[in-house]
Every structure is written in C-alpha cells, then in structure tokens.
Structure 1
Amino acid sequence: MIFALAWSQVRAHPGRLLAIVAAVVLATGFLAATATFASTSDEGLRLTAAAPLTTADIVLDAGDTVHDPHWYRAAAGVPGVRSVDPQYARTVSVFGGARRGSANVQSIPATPSVRWFTVDEGTWPTAAGQVVADRRTLTDLGVGVGARLDFRQGTGAPVAVVVVGSADLGFRPLTGSDYRFYAAPSFFAGDTPPAALLTVTDRDRLPATVDAVGRAMPAGVTATDAVAASDAAASRFAGGNTQLVVLMLAFAAVALLASILVIANTFQVIVSQRIRQVALLRLVGGHRRQVSRVVLAEAAIAGTIGAVLGAVAGVGLGYLGAGLLDINGGGLAINPIVLALCVLTGVGATVVAAWAPARRATRVAPVRALQEVAEALPAPVRGGRRLVAGLILLVLAVGVLGLAAVGTSLPLALAGGVLLAAGLLIALPLGIALLLSPAARGLERFGVAAGLAGSNLRQNARRTASATMAVVVGAALITGLAVASASGRATVEADLEARYPVAAGVHTDGAAIDARTVQAMAGITGLTTATVATATATFPAAGKPTPARIAALPAELAGRVAPELSVSGGDPVLLVPGAYLTARGLKDGAPLTVKAGGRDLRFTARGSRLADTTGQLLGVTSGEVLTAAGVRTVPTAVWGTASSGFDRETLAGDVNAVAARDAAVEVGGGVTEGGDIMNVLSILLGLSLGMLAVTVVIALLGIANLLGLSVIERGREMALLRALGTRRGRLRAMVAVEAVTITLVGTVAGIVIGVPVGLVGVIAAVGRQAEPVIMLAWPQLGLVLVAAVVTGVLASLAPARRATRIAPAQGLVR
C-alpha cells in the first residue's frame, strides 16, 4: 500500500525527483568509481609483482648471504625437476634516443615455456648485447626495434646493446625505474641471481619435489610452490594505491554530504508542493506515520534508481582512471559486496536526507485541505542551542588546527578538520540564515528586481541557508585543495631553490667534459650556464686523508651562486658540506688546509649547500684562488642557474635530452628533485577542478529546486506584479539575482573556510621538511567565483521561465 502510493507519485511527477536522482547518481558514482579504481588498480599491481612467477612450478629465493653465482645449479640434479632458469636483475642508466633515465633489466628464462610474455615485434635476445624493450619504453625514448642504446651500471663504462624486439606488457610495474628491458642470462655474466624458476615433470608430486629441492639447496636458499610465491609477491603490492584511494574517498564523502543537503532541500520542496494533497490524506483518515512512510518510500525509490545508475557509471569511470595511470593490467576487477554497499549507501543517504522533510509532512493539519490556497510550511530561523553547540565545536576545531600548524602534525590537522566539518554543519546554516537579512537590505539598493529578490531570501532564510550549504561544502573543499596545491608547490619550489643554488647541471667523474655537451647546455632556453673546472685534492679526515675534488668557479658564476667567495682579507673561502664540518668537529669559519697540485692550500671553511648538491665534490672555491696557486684544473662540469619560478618539468626534460647524448655525464642540480612531489600536487589541483565540476552540478540542482518552490509559492505575487506592468525580463532578473546571491554567499563562505584549512594542511604536511610558503591560488579562486555566478544564472533559467509563464489573470484567481 505505502510503496504503491509512493510509486504512483513517482510515475505521476517524475520531474520532481529528477534532482534527487541526479544527486544520488553523482554521490554513488563517486563511491563506486573509488571502489572500482581500488580493486582494479590493486589487481593490476598484483599482476605486476606476480607475472614472472606464474609460469613456473617452483620458485627458489636466495637470501643476502648467498654469494655463489652458480648456487641454483644444484636443483638440476633433483629427481622430478625438468628445467632451472636463474632470474637476474640489474638497474642501469640508459642512454640513446631522445631521453635518458634509470632502467630495470630483467633476465628472460632460457626455457620458452617459462617466459611470461611474448615478443610482438622482432625476436628474443640470444646474445649479451641484445635486449627486448617494453613498447612504452621505446616510445618514451623515441626509438624502435633495431636501435642502439648504451647501458651503464653505477660508475662503470657504458655497454652498447641493440634492441632486437619489443613486447606490449600492458602495465607498468612500480620498479622505481623509468624504463624496462629484458635480456638473455648471458647479459648478467658474473652476477649472483637472487632467484630461480623451476618446472617439474609431474605436478602431482609437486609438494614432494619442493621438499627435495629445498634439501638440495645451499644454506640461505628457500624453495616455494610457485602459486604460493605468486600470492606472496602479489600481497606485497596490495594497497600500493592506498593514498590515492583515501584521497578519492574523501572526495566521495564530500560529494555524498553535498548530495544529502540537496536531497533534503528537494524533499522539502516536494512536501511544500503537496501540502493540500498531504492534508487531504490526513482528512480521509491517514495517520501521521503513513504520511511519513509515503515520503520515505519515495526517497527509497528515487535513491535506488539513482544509486544503481551511479554504480554503473562509477564502475566505468573507476576503470578508466586506473587505465589512465597504467595500472589496469589485470583487467576490470569489481568486488560485488563493496559495489552493493555503495548502492546501499546511496539509498540510505537518500532516506536519511528525506527524514526531516517527512517529519515536517506529518505536521500538516487536515483542515489545510479545505483552504483555497495551500501555503508553504513556515520555516522560522531559530535554533539557539544548535548554534551554541556548533560554535563550541568550531572553537575546538580552531584550537586543534592551530596546534596542528604549530606542531606540524598531519593527524592533528585531520582531527581538526573533522571537528570543523561537524561544527560547520551544525552552526553554519543558522549563521547564513541570520546573515541573509543584511544581504537582502543591500540588494534593495540595486533596483526593484534585486529588492524583491532580497525580500524573498529574507522571508525564506532558513530554507535558503539549507540550499546554500551544498555550495559552501563544495567551495570550501575546492578552495582548500587549490590553496594547499599552490602553497605546497611554492614551498617545494622555495625549498629546492634554497637547497640547490644550481638549478641544473651535468658533470663527469673527473674527465674533461665534451665541448658539444657544453654547447648544448648553453643552448637551453631559460638556463644561464657556465663551465666549471675541478681539481683533485686531498682533504684531512678523522682517520686518513680523503681524496676528493674541488670546483673552481668562474667569477661571474660565483657572483650568482656563491657571493661569499668574494670576501676579501684573510684566507680564501672554501665551501664544504655541513656534514663534513660536523664530522670533523669544525665550526663554520674554521681554518682548513687542503693539499692540491702538490701544495698545501689554507682556506677558511664555510658550510654551504652548494657543495652538498652539485655532484661528487667536497669543496667549492673561486677559480682565481686555484689559478694563483698554480693548481691544474680540468673542465668537468656545466652549471646553470634559472630565474625564480622557472618551469621545472620543461627544464628537466631539456637537460635530460642533452645528457641522453653523452653517456659520460651525470645530471645534477635542483631539477633532479621534487618531480614526484610536483606530480602529486598537479594531481591534487586536477582533482580540485574535477570536484568543482561535480559541485557545480549538485549546487545547480539544489538551487534550481529552491527557486522552483519559490516560484510556486509566490504565484499570486508574480501574477500581481505582471498585472501591474512588470515585464518578463524583470521577473527573470529577480529570480537570477536570488540564485546568484545564494551561490555567491555560499562561495564566499566556502572560500573563507577553505583558505585557512588548506594552509593548515600544508603547514602540517611539510612544515618539518621545509619553511612553508603561503600562496593563494588566485586564478583558481577567481574561477570558483565565476563558476558561482554561472551556476546561479543557469540554476535560475528553468524557474524564471516558469515565473514568466504565469498569466496575470490566472495567478489572481488561484
């Protein structure tokens, strides 16, 4: 009976529930997308770790104490073992093509059946100088099959290799390296393999064979069933995406909260539209409980439709997100239980949001059915106790956030954020409702349309404040993320500039640097370079003298990165790492004697980050000092400085391209650091813009519903205005002013809340590692305000059109 009546209402007026369904779709879609992304990416990461083990029967793992390069050979003599393939791995620097970087080289089993991928172009490597490359690696390097590359392990000499094949593995393992290559076992001559893969002749006797192999192995080697080893390797990668998933869950929670606010306001609109119908139901004998159940049943129906649609959309978006990050190699993975919980959460949130409007519906008196005009239920501004409780929570939140900023504690910042959210949800609607009166008086100065809009806002202040809360929540989150991203980026940039006076540089291990490399570095846009010469020197140490190199800076470069070298009088200055002074027990400014060029050179030692971050140096001084002392120097490096605020990613790419053509140099300077942090901050900013789009949609629905109700309730007023000569354009302007005022009030409140929260988050997260730099994201804040105005105008279109269709005579006879 209850659900039948509710379903009939849904079928008769589907447009009324459209906003509710849309809000539930967005919230549930966010939850389902997060769940799908987590499970799909987790499966992809598991496949990454377990793939090389899935084709074997037994896995041998050699501990750190095993140093015999041929330890695995004993397994070949165990009865039941068909093949034994050692597993090697090296991390090398790769040169060639358009870029250079770190590469992980793994061995390919000699036994074809144990290879876990196929070559889609070219052939398998058979000699030490041949490799197979991942297709993405070749694309990034700008080369193809048949290309010649140079590999260098550590400080060893470069080794030339030829790419004889490529493979599309479909996923990128988290190896800590930029590129992936695979080589024959002969490539790893002299290495001790950390593992070996075995196949057996009879899988039915696998447990017994595992035991026999284990007994035959030397101490420190363990034998494991390959299935168990695969599961163990996969479990180590499980949760590798935890931080991103937590961030997405936070966004989902905010979307759910904003949706609940919109749903509650929409049901309030629906109940107000059906006052006479509800009163008639009471008049013919309907109980209060039945009225409430009908409203809640409608909520359950709308919530179910929206949750199912949102779950379907969320699954697709979650899988797409995992694909964009190259961690969907395991295919689409869905946990049915988690997906069902997402749907139930959407339905439950809808029912909870409808509970207060349903309760208000029970207060409709039966006699209201006999009235000629069904007036809206009054919503006075009251709730002093709630306001006091909310203010207490806000005071506590401010205190906790202050402690988090002072103590640079991220957990305290999170706790303060929870208290702040609770306090705002309780107190802010009442605060906004109280502020609408002065806002309405301000609107009266801008003409008749604005004055009428302000009057309506003041008349329905409590209801307007509820609709505004969805805007506040979204604006606060977006502002906090944007400010955190901008301040975090500025903090990282300032810290890197302070720690790395040299923005970018390349250096050899002591040999003269190639003139072509010097010229290429000088041609990089935005980089001011200078060639730096070095000399071999012997530094005093705690035990015995330590051979190292000192750099001789030309005067022009010294003036930019080390002005302290130009101090006149006394011994010349030698910049050394602060750690060296500490280890030697020396104070800054202490005398230090260094042997160079067969002479004892006396310096004043100064601790400097310049000596810490510019390569394999233990001292930096001016070129004039070494020249005057007759010390022979060799040009071994190019250092470059850049103006403040340079594009770090572009500069790093340009320097990398230069270094790719010279295997004798290593890259140094500030461009080698901060890339991962900058990527995270970019993702954070991108997510904030995505959240802006979601918030705009949710807020648009909520405000459109509020204005729609306002038009219905004020039908007589608008008809009278039309009868008195008010044009349709002025009615549209009145509705638009209401909408824009709501969005602007909510956005300004959100910005006021979000800015300090974002700053506290940055201070708590990086305050211990660097001096925080406060940077407001003015472009993003401006975009938020523009979005508020646009959202208000768009939300007013449908209600304004409805208002202009009210005929003067029709409105007056209602």
Structure 2
Amino acid sequence: MLKTTLRNLLAHRLRLALTAAAIIFGVAFVSGVLTLSNTLSEAFKKASATDYKDVSVDVRPTEDAERDRQVPALDDGLLGTLRGLPGVASVRATNTGYTAIVDRDGDRLGGRSNTNGTTFAPGPDGQDPKYRFTSGHGPRAAGEIAVDERAAKDAGFRVGDQVRVVANGPVLTSVLVGVFTTDDARYQVGGTITLFDRATAQELFSEPGRYDDIAVRAAPGTTEEAVLASVRPLVPSGAEAVTGAKLRADQAADIESGTKELTQALLVFAGIALFVGTFIIANTFTMLVAQRTREFALLRAIGATRRQITRAVLVEATVLGLVSGAIGFVLGIGLSEALRSLFNSMDAELPPGPVVIAPGAVVAALSVAVVVTVVAAWLPAHRAASIPPVAALRSDLPPTAKSLRVRNGIGAFLLAIGIVICYGVGRTKDKSTGDVFMIMGGGFVALVSVIMLVPLLSTPAIRFAGRPMSAAFGISGRLARENAVRNPRRTAATASALMIGLILVSTLSVFGASLKQELDRVALRGITADYGVSLIGEIPMDPAMAEAVARTPGVTEISQLRSANVRIGAAADDGFGGSGGSGDGTEVVSMDARTGLGLLRADFVKGGPEGFADGLLLGEKKAKDGGYEVGSRVPVTFPDGQRTTLVLSGIYEDDGLLGDAVMSNETLTPHLDRVVDTDILVRAAPGAARELRGNLEKALGDNPAVKIMSRDDYRKELGGIVDLLLNLLYGLLGMSIVIAVIGIVNTLAMSVFERTREIGMLRAIGMDRRRIRSMIRLESVMISVFGAVLGMALGLLIGVLGVNAAKGTSEMTPVVPWERMGLFLILAGLVGVLAAAWPARRAARMEVLGAIRTE
C-alpha cells in the first residue's frame, strides 16, 4: 500500500500543487514569526550582554519615584561615600534622557524612543571605559558634546562642527569634540547616543547635583552580595540598590517577555491563515477522493481493508505536509526579514542582526504542517474508507443527504446560541469589558455555525444572485450558476475560506471607523485651544518652552499641562494604595487654574469649575467608584508623600482627554521634585491663528522635536494612528486572503479536470472557447462574491454588536464604513476573475476529441 500511496502522490502532483501552496504560505507565516522572534531575542541579548558586565551593584530611583517624578538624593555626597566603601573598585554616576541629533537639513536622526543622551563619566585617567573614541575626546565643559560614530557618519559631522541637539527644551547648539563607538545596548540595537559633560547632563535630565544612576564595581575578590550589604544602608529614600546579577536577569526577562508578546500576537494571524488553509486542504482531498472512487473501490475489491485505505490517504497527507512544511520553513526565513522591515518602517526600531534559525522553529513548522494537513484530510480519508467494492462500477459517490441534514441541524443550533449570547449582552445597559469578550465569543459561535450552514445557504443565494449574470451572459452565465450550485459542499468550502478573511477585515473596519469618529468628536469638542505644543513621543518639556510660547506675538493665553501619579481616597496602609480600590494611584492631569478649562473642555455632569483652583475634578467613573459627590472632601496623597483633603468641585464626562482626575498646577506643582510640562495649550488673538503657527516655530528655534498642532491636526493624527493600525492588521490578514484565493484557483482547476468530458461535449455542440472561459470566470466570481457578502454581513454584525457592547467602557457608537465595504465587494469580484484566469485558460484550450474520450 505504501508504494501505491507514493505513486498516487506523484500521479496527482499537479492537482496537489496548489494545496501545497496553501500549506506553504501558512507554514511560512509560522516559520517567519518564530524565526523573527528568535532573531530579535538573540540580537537584544547580544546587544545587552556587555551593558552590566562591570556593574556589581546599581543604585537607582525606584519605579514609584520615576513614575511620580521624584528625584532621590543620589548626589556627590553619596558618590564620595560609596567610593570609600571597602571592596569597591570604582563608582560611575550618570544621567540619561531623550536627546535627538539634528542633521544639516534640520531633521532628527533616529526614531522617537531610541535617541539618547547621557553623561560622559571619565575616571582619573580622563577616559570613560564605556566609550572608545575614534576621533577627538569626551566633552569636558558646557557647550561640548560627543556623538556616536554611526550618527556622525549619517549626518556628515566631523570634530569641530557646530551641532544642534534637542533634549527636553529649546534646541542646543554645541561643539562636536569627539566621535566614539561603544558596546552600549542602545547603540547596538540601532539607537543614537550623545554624550554631555556631567553638569549639562544633570541640568537636562535631572537636577543640578543629582544623578539618576550610580553603578558600583566590586574590587577583585569581593562578591556582589558583600558590596550590596555595604551599599544598601546608604541608599536614600526613593532609591533602591540591586545587584548586577539581578539587573542582567531582569533585562533577560524583559527581552523574553517582549519577544514573547510579539510572537504570540503574530502567531494569532498565522493561526488564522492556517485555519483558512484547512478548508483548502479538506476540499482538495474531498475532490480527490471523489475522483478516485473507482480506484479505491478496486483496492477494496482486491483485498484492501478500510484501515489500509484510511492510512493510505493520511500517508499522502503526511508526505504532502512534510514537503510543503519544509518549503514553507525556508520561505519563512525570508518572511521574517520582511516582517522586521515592516515594523521598522513603523518606527518599531527593531535591532539589526543575523537571522537565527532555532531547531525548535524547524520542528514547530514541520509539525504544524503535518498536523494541519492530516487533520484536514481526516474526514476525506474516512469517506474513502467507506467506499464499497461495488462502487468500482460507478464513477462517482455523491454525499448523502443525511450528512447534510445533520450538519445543518448542528449549524442551526449553534447559530441560535450565538444569537442569544450577542442579543442578550447587547441589551445589557451597564456594559463592561467582559461584555465585549462575550460578544466576541458569541460571534465566534455564530462564525462556526455559518461555516456549517454555508452549503445550505449557497444554493438559494447563488441561484438568486446569479440571475443577473445569467441574463447578461446568456448560456455562459446559466451554466456558471448551475456549476456553482452543483456541489454545495465544494462551493461552501471554497467560499468559507474567503468568508473568514472578510469577517475579520469587516469587523476591524467597523471598530476602526467607530473609533475614528469617537476620536474626532473628542478632539474637536474637547480641545478648544487653537494650538497645542508638545515634544514627540510624549517627552516632558522644560517649562522654559512655555515661557517662549507665552512671549510669542499673537498669543493671548496659554496653559501648561502636567501630570503625576496621585493617590486619591483613603487606603488601608499609608495612603499609597495598599488595599487597592479608591486608594490606588491615579494619573492626574493638572492645568493652569485661570486658563486651563477654557482651553481644554470638561463636560460637567455635576458641579462645575468653581473652586477648581484649590479643589479637585473627577471623571464620572472615578467619582462613582469612590462614592464621591460634588462637595465631598476627598483624601489626596501627593507624590512627595504629603496628604491633604481637596473639595470635589465638579464631575465630568469620561472622554479620554482629561483622564480620571484634574487639579490645578498651583495645587500639584509644589509637590513635584522636577517640574516639567507634557503639553502647552495656546489661544491665538482674534484673526492671528493662521500666522501663529509660524511665529511659534520661530520662537521655539525651529525645533524638529516639537509638534505644533491645531485641533484639526490632532484629529488627523489620531485618525492616522487608527488607519496605520488597521493597515497593519489588514496586511497581517493578507496571508489568509492569499490562501483563500489559492483555494478558489485550486477548486476551479480540479473542477475543470473533473468536468473534462463535460467541457469537451460543450465544445462539440458548438460552445466556443470564449464562452468556456466566460463560464469558468463567472463561476469563480459567483463563489467569491457569495463568500465575500456572507463574510461582510457577519463581520458587520459582530463589529456593530462589539462596539455597542463597548459602550460601558467608551462613548463609541457603531459606524459602518459603507465605502470600504463596497471596495471589498469589488475586490472580491476581481479576486474571482483573477483566480479563474488559469483554470479558464486550461478549460478553453482542451482538445475536443481528447476531452470526450477522457474516462
């Protein structure tokens, strides 16, 4: 039987080629994702391997201090004390923050997050061992900088040039005194590094006399634990001391976690592609079994058992899966590089490095290929085994009506369950995030039910929708319609592959359109300022920028926006959220008491702005969760630990702009160690709004890191982010659509082979080649449009119900992007035409007499 099975594979290699292509594309996606994950993980680990190799103990601010913008006393006094500890060989203190290098064209080098500035920290010999200078030397005074070799080359800078850099405020012009290379992980993963002298780095990134990191290196023979025991009693409030081993372990864990999350997200889309591929595989083997009915019956007649027949079909599937999986894995290596380029084009800043092929990825890819192929071929194999020997006298074994009745019954039952879940949750008034997942679960049940019901739906739907084509294309249209409904199972499997892709794409489109409308509403209604000024990447700004904005001609008023983590409500321990609930930290937005609420609108449901200057405003949900009403005295613990009670003067609608809580700058600022702005809102003088943008750009020194945005700019930027995410998701779903198209080509090609004698008879009685091609194309279009309409209908339903379910956590209302739906429908028709090109050409070129003689 094994020899017979292998010969059958070779005999049907052309019919299995397109099925192999579906497996190859699905496995290539899996392989590409796993290879990308391994490559990134290795690149990050290699880049960071040297980062902490000379660090025995690191003293740094705690996460709470960093979040609350508190600056612990990591000063020269502590630095001197640490240097004098026994067992300490050296101590290195630095400050680090965002710094962008401005090239000769006035543009920023690097991305948004991986452009860094830090301290040049020389030892007694005047050298900083972390940086190796290829020309010049490290900065020694204010007005001097050094940049990494790659940045200098990209910008065309040489030692002695005047270089502009941007940190957290106005553009700084400094003299380039050195160019260096380094093993710093930030540089190794493609970032830029700018070195400043100690005083300048402190002024830019912390406070004069304060550091944000002190690295201690142990003397030979001294353990990290011994140094930690000496350092820990000296650590000030708001800071912590950790061993180098813990730093390295934490960094490895972060790398593992980050790559794992990316891998899991991408594997979801790979799984969708493979799921779509199972329809193609099952359809192919079903058609092969039907075409080989006489062959299997003859094998049964000469003594083959049912188990041998089943095993023979599954062996074919296994070999097909192994060969396709191997090819798919090789293609996946190239796909991994394409994925990396895709993410880098979106400012993901993934590190460079050689492709890493792990044995686990090879095993996983081949295993997935074999398992998916064998599972998809299981039912066709079972049907092959059930063919009786007497069927050798017949050429076909049609499916029984009973099997369709059972399938339709199960499908109808599941559809009822899905409708009950979606309708029941949809009618709930107070919805939560869990309700959204319930809707998605109901939608999945409905999806499964529709897949089972597609054979039942296909015949009446295609008969009805095919009438215009029959009228327009005559005999070609009528034959195409009859061919499309001849085998409901085959049509269903082919249409379902495309349907699944369109369900996901349509659902995403509804969510995207609804989200864009909500963001438009928030931006246009909530922002009443003429312009907002901020730095890219939400980088905090030096208040000196607000002073420059306020002096700009055409500005009548401004408000600086700030934020901090404040504990609102009474907690069980010390007010810092130990018990959860209302005592947990809340991100508070603060603004100017006089002008803020005139530039950023709050829609009050209770109370109002009166008393805001020394009071508190809360979002509707935050007030409800804490049980507060207007006039309530709300306990507040500020970032510096001071406690007070503030009067709640107003409760506003939750809109995403103001967050959960708002207070005035006058109330919050005295409790911040480091005062920075997140945004500056600007009101223009009457008639001066158009000219004001240029005035602001000039006042801020043509800073390439500054964003000056009108309300319409905010709306477009938010909409652009949504479109970018949608296009990314569409792209990741594109593999599923490609596999669905392969399925249509495959089904039509095998159908043409199956109907060879029929096509020959049509040619013999006068049907010309043009009409034959037209018949195949129209059949393809009918199946494609049927699958697309069904997919879009279910996708729109799930999307609308999902948006309605999300109303408990957002103010979105469902929006159906009809223009995009129309485009999808047109594309589905084009897919049908393109998919039919080769099968139609093959059918039209059949030699008439040879086709009639075909068995």
TM-score band w.r.t. shorter chain: 0.7 to 0.9
User: How much does 1:381 deviate?
Assistant: 8.1
Which of 781, 786, 795 is 1:740 aligned to? 781
Contact 1:132 1:163 in 2 (8 A): yes
Which residue of structure 2 lines up, in the alignment, with residue 106 of structure 1?
Answer: 118
Residue 286 (1) aligns with residue 293 (2): no
Contact 1:611 1:618 in 2 (8 A): no
Which residue of structure 2 lines up, in the alignment, with residue 336 of structure 1?
Answer: 359
Contact 1:436 1:461 in 2 (8 A): no
Residue 35 (1) aligns with residue 62 (2): no
Which residue of structure 2 lines up, in the alignment, with residue 312 of structure 1?
Answer: 330
Residue 236 (1) aligns with residue 254 (2): yes
Distance 1:227 1:330, change over 3 A: farther
User: How much does 1:294 deviate?
Assistant: 1.3
Distance 1:763 1:143 in 2: 56
Contact 1:71 1:218 in 2 (8 A): no
Structure 2 gaps, min length 5: 66-71, 203-207, 534-542, 561-589, 619-627, 632-649, 667-679
Aligned-residue CA RMSD (Å):
5.0
Which residue of structure 2 lines up, in the alignment, with residue 358 of structure 1?
Answer: 381
Which residue of structure 1 lines up, in the alignment, with residue 741 of structure 2?
Answer: 700
Distance 2:321 2:696 in 1: 55
Distance 2:152 2:122 in 1: 24
Distance 1:673 1:249, change over 3 A: farther
Residue 728 (1) aligns with residue 744 (2): no
Task: Tell me the secondary structure at the aligned position of residue 240 of structure 1.
Answer: helix
User: How much does 1:492 deviate?
Assistant: 1.8
Equivalent positions of 1:374-413 (< 5 A) are 374-375=395-396, 377-378=398-399, 380=401, 382-402=403-423, 407-409=431-433, 410-413=436-439
Task: Tell me the secondary structure at the aligned position of residue 93 of structure 2.
Answer: strand
Distance 1:453 1:11, change over 3 A: same
User: How much does 1:305 deviate?
Assistant: 1.4
Which residue of structure 2 lines up, in the alignment, with residue 125 of structure 1?
Answer: 139
Distance 1:57 1:761 in 2: 52
Distance 1:662 1:472, change over 3 A: closer
Distance 1:210 1:676 in 2: 50
Equivalent positions of 1:463-474 (< 5 A) are 463-474=490-501
User: How much does 1:164 deviate?
Assistant: 4.2
Distance 2:809 2:286 in 1: 50
Task: Tell me the secondary structure at the aligned position of residue 836 of structure 2.
Answer: helix
User: How much does 1:251 deviate?
Assistant: 1.4
Equivalent positions of 1:233-312 (< 5 A) are 233-240=251-258, 244-312=262-330
Which residue of structure 2 lines up, in the alignment, with residue 187 of structure 1?
Answer: 200
Contact 1:21 1:302 in 2 (8 A): yes
Contact 1:483 1:775 in 2 (8 A): yes
Contact 1:549 1:617 in 2 (8 A): yes
Distance 1:113 1:534 in 2: 46
Contact 2:591 2:664 in 1 (8 A): no
User: How much does 1:297 deviate?
Assistant: 0.8
Distance 1:33 1:611, change over 3 A: closer
Q: Which amino acid aligns with 1:317?
A: L
Task: Tell me the secondary structure at the aligned position of residue 126 of structure 1.
Answer: coil
TM-score, normalising length: structure 2? 0.72
Q: Which amino acid aligns with 1:388?
A: G
Distance 1:660 1:245, change over 3 A: farther
Distance 2:596 2:766 in 1: 86
Distance 1:580 1:310 in 2: 63
Which residue of structure 1 lines up, in the alignment, with residue 230 of structure 2?
Answer: 215
Structure 1 gaps, min length 5: 519-529, 537-545, 565-572, 588-604, 620-634
Residue 431 (1) aligns with residue 431 (2): no
Residue 490 (1) aligns with residue 497 (2): no
Distance 1:440 1:510 in 2: 66
Contact 1:106 1:181 in 2 (8 A): yes
Which residue of structure 2 lines up, in the alignment, with residue 801 of structure 1?
Answer: 841
Q: Which amino acid aligns with 1:215?
A: S
Query: CA deviation digits over 1:633-654, x for unaligned, max 9?
Result: xx99554999xxx9xxxx9999
User: How much does 1:93 deviate?
Assistant: 9.3
Distance 1:369 1:770, change over 3 A: closer
Distance 1:26 1:216 in 2: 56
Equivalent positions of 1:46-195 (< 5 A) are 52-61=51-60, 66-78=73-85, 80-90=87-97, 97-98=106-107, 104-111=116-123, 115-116=129-130, 118=132, 123-133=137-147, 146-149=161-164, 161-165=174-178, 181-188=194-201, 190-195=208-213
Equivalent positions of 1:575-654 (< 5 A) are 582=617, 637-639=682-684
User: How much does 1:737 deviate?
Assistant: 0.8
Distance 1:281 1:484 in 2: 55
Q: Which amino acid aligns with 1:87?
A: T
Distance 2:403 2:705 in 1: 76
Distance 1:402 1:719, change over 3 A: same
Distance 1:585 1:135, change over 3 A: farther
User: How much does 1:730 deviate?
Assistant: 0.6
Which residue of structure 1 lines up, in the alignment, with residue 68 of structure 2?
Answer: none
Greater CA drift, 453-462 or 767-776:
767-776
Query: CA deviation digits over 1:540-561, x for unaligned, max 9?
Result: xxxxxx99674599xxxx9x99
Distance 1:301 1:579, change over 3 A: farther
Q: Which amino acid aligns with 2:457?
A: G
Contact 1:439 1:454 in 2 (8 A): no
Which residue of structure 1 lines up, in the alignment, with residue 503 of structure 2?
Answer: 476
Percent identity over the alignment?
A: 25
Which residue of structure 1 lines up, in the alignment, with residue 671 of structure 2?
Answer: none
Distance 1:223 1:144, change over 3 A: same
Residue 422 (1) aligns with residue 482 (2): no
Query: CA deviation digits over 1:65-95, x for unaligned, max 9?
Result: 6554432333433455432211323457999
Distance 1:469 1:285, change over 3 A: same
Greater CA drift, 133-142 or 325-334:
133-142
Q: Which amino acid aligns with 2:483?
A: N
User: How much does 1:229 deviate?
Assistant: 1.9
Distance 1:533 1:440 in 2: 65
Distance 1:579 1:332, change over 3 A: farther
Task: Tell me the secondary structure at the aligned position of residue 31 of structure 1.
Answer: helix
Distance 1:188 1:118, change over 3 A: same
Distance 2:280 2:461 in 1: 21
Q: Which amino acid aligns with 1:802?
A: R
User: How much does 1:343 deviate?
Assistant: 2.3
Contact 1:49 1:237 in 2 (8 A): no
Which residue of structure 1 lines up, in the alignment, with residue 478 of structure 2?
Answer: 451
Distance 1:764 1:680, change over 3 A: farther
Distance 2:506 2:199 in 1: 57
Distance 1:803 1:610, change over 3 A: closer
Query: CA deviation digits over 1:436-478, x for unaligned, max 9?
Result: 4444566543311111111122221222111111111111122
Q: Which amino acid aligns with 2:334?
A: G
Contact 1:408 1:763 in 2 (8 A): no
Q: Which amino acid aligns with 2:200?
A: F
TM-score, normalising length: structure 1? 0.75
Task: Tell me the secondary structure at the aligned position of residue 397 of structure 1.
Answer: helix
Residue 791 (1) aligns with residue 804 (2): no
User: How much does 1:810 deviate?
Assistant: 3.2
Q: Which amino acid aligns with 1:386?
A: R
